[in-house]
Structure formats: structure tokens, C-alpha cells
């Protein structure tokens, strides 16, 4: 009880860089638990609560939801899974997310996968996705890119200084990227 050490990989990269796609492949092959912070927040916004409405508004505007909301969703999902190895996709998105998560959960990532992809490639992918996401329109996509550069890149830089980041060229075909991803994952 309390003694099992969590193994966590953060899956980071800009909007449309392929975080969800590559995570799904790791789930398929290794059965690791995939927690997409964005998916958890999109589920939460269906709750009909005032907090759910706030989350919906923030996602539509490409803004980062307050840490306490995202961290409690992640914490609950980790607890409910009964497992201790997780891929956490799309979180932490700013330095405050990162510091709060580390101090509240006591978890440090073992590895950070950074999917590096040019904006024009990500933009084309997002506009072609057609899954009805409220943030897949050109106006919100531009905001998401700006938030990524201003707030999320510093998180990657923080972990880079700790030697935890594997940078992956995400402007390639899915299979080619996955070959590299699975190798990095197996080295853990
Ligand atoms: N695709 C994928 N890989 C490809 C490849 N190699 N070649 C060609 N096409 C490829 O991929 C996007 C699209 O590209 C898909 O159609 C795919 O088939 C294709 P996907 O794998 O979905 O990329 P991903 O990086 O997961 O893109 P996503 O849009 O999910 O990234 P975001 O980071 O923008 O979205 P997320 O869901 O993480 O967050 C959404 C919002 O939630 C945020 O903007 C924010 O408002 C909020 N949020 C928080 O506030 N806090 C959080 O902690 C998390 C989210
Ligand atoms: Mg995603």
C-alpha cells in the first residue's frame, strides 16, 4: 500500500503532432494505460456542472484549464485503473500544471516523449480530422499553437534540462514514427 512506484511517461507535443495516435499504438502493443488529459476534460464537460461548462468554454478558446481540475481527473483515472504504468498524453501544459502535479502526486516522469512537428503540418492534420471537436477550427487552432509555444514548450525545456526528453521528428509517416517510439518505450 502506497509503496508501488508509479511509472509515468508524459506524451507531449503541439496540437495535432500525433500524441493520441502514437499512444494508441503503445496501448495496442504493450497494454499500458493511456490517459489523455484532453479526453478526460472532454468527458468532464458533458457532466452538465458549472465546472463542466467552464471546461467547455476554455477548450473552445484553446486555453489551459486550471490545474486542480485536470489533476483530480488524472488522479482519479490512475486510482480507478488499479495499474501503476501510465502514458499521460497532453499534460502538463504549463509550468504550473507540472509543479502542481509533481507536488500533489509525488510522481516524476521517467520519460517525456516530445513529438516535434511543424505548425503547417499540424494545422493540415487538425483541419482534416473531422471528429467534431469544438477546437478544430482555424481560429482556435491558431490560439492552441500560441499557447503551446508560450506555455507548453517551457515544460519540455524543464525536463530537457533533467535529461528526460526524447525528441521525435513527428513529421513522418505514422509507422516510421512508431518504430522509434516503441524502441524508446522498451528501453524504459
Ligand atoms: N495523424 C496523426 N499522426 C499522423 C502522421 N504521422 N501522419 C499523418 N497524419 C497523422 O492526430 C491528429 C490528426 O492527425 C488525426 O487525424 C490523426 O489521424 C492524424 P492526433 O494523434 O489526434 O494528435 P494529437 O497530438 O493527439 O492532437 P490533439 O488535437 O489531441 O492535441 P491537443 O494537444 O491540441 O489536444 P488535447 O486533447 O490534448 O487538448 C485539447 C484542449 O484541452 C487544450 O487545448 C486545452 O484547452 C485543454 N487541455 C487542458 O486545458 N489541460 C490539459 O492538461 C489538457 C488539455
Ligand atoms: Mg490528442
Give the closest residue (by CA) to ligand 1 atom 14.
125
CATH value at residue 68: 3.40.50.300
d(C-alpha 182, C-alpha 25), whole Å: 9
Nearest ligand 1 atom, CA 14 = 33
**pLDDT at residue 4 in the model:** 72
Position 69 in a domain: yes
- How open is the CA angle 12-27-152, to the nearest 5 degrees? 10
Annotated binding residue 154 = no
Q: In this structure, which ligand is nearest to the CA of 94?
A: 1
- 96 within domain boundaries: yes
Q: Is the residue at 146 inside a domain?
A: yes
Is 2 contained in some domain? no
118 is in an annotated binding site: no
Q: What is the pLDDT of residue 3?
A: 59
64 within domain boundaries = yes
Any domain includes 104: yes
Distance CA 15, CA 125 (A): 9
Residue 1 lies in a domain: no
| 125 CB-near residues (< 8 Å, 6+ apart) | 16, 18
ipTM above 0.95, yes or no: yes
Domain assignment of residue 42, yes or no: yes
**pTM for the whole thing?**
0.98
Q: Which domain holds residue 178?
A: 7-186
Counting the structural domains of the chain, the total is: 1
Under-50 pLDDT residues of the chain: 1
Specify whether the CB–CB gap between 46 and 39 falls below 8 A.
Answer: no
Amino acid at each position: 500500500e502506497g509503496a508501488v512506484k508509479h511509472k509515468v511517461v508524459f506524451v507531449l507535443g503541439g496540437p495535432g503532432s500525433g500524441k493520441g495516435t502514437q499512444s494508441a499504438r503503445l496501448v495496442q502493443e504493450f497494454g499500458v494505460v493511456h490517459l489523455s488529459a484532453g479526453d478526460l476534460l472532454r468527458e468532464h464537460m458533458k457532466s452538465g456542472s458549472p465546472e463542466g461548462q467552464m471546461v467547455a468554454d476554455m477548450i473552445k478558446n484553446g486555453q489551459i484549464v486550471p490545474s486542480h481540475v485536470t489533476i483530480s481527473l488524472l488522479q482519479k483515472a490512475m486510482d480507478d485503473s488499479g495499474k501503476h504504468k501510465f502514458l499521460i498524453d497532453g499534460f502538463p501544459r504549463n509550468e504550473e500544471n507540472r509543479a502542481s502535479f509533481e507536488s500533489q502526486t509525488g510522481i516524476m516522469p521517467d520519460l517525456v516523449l516530445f513529438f516535434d512537428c511543424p505548425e503547417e503540418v499540424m494545422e493540415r492534420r487538425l483541419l482534416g480530422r473531422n471528429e467534431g471537436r469544438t477546437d478544430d477550427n482555424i481560429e482556435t487552432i491558431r490560439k492552441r499553437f500560441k499557447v503551446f509555444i508560450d506555455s507548453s514548450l517551457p515544460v519540455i525545456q524543464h525536463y530537457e534540462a533533467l535529461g528526460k526528453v526524447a525528441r521525435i521528428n513527428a513529421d513522418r509517416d505514422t509507422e516510421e514514427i512508431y518504430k522509434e517510439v516503441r524502441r524508446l518505450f522498451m528501453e524504459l
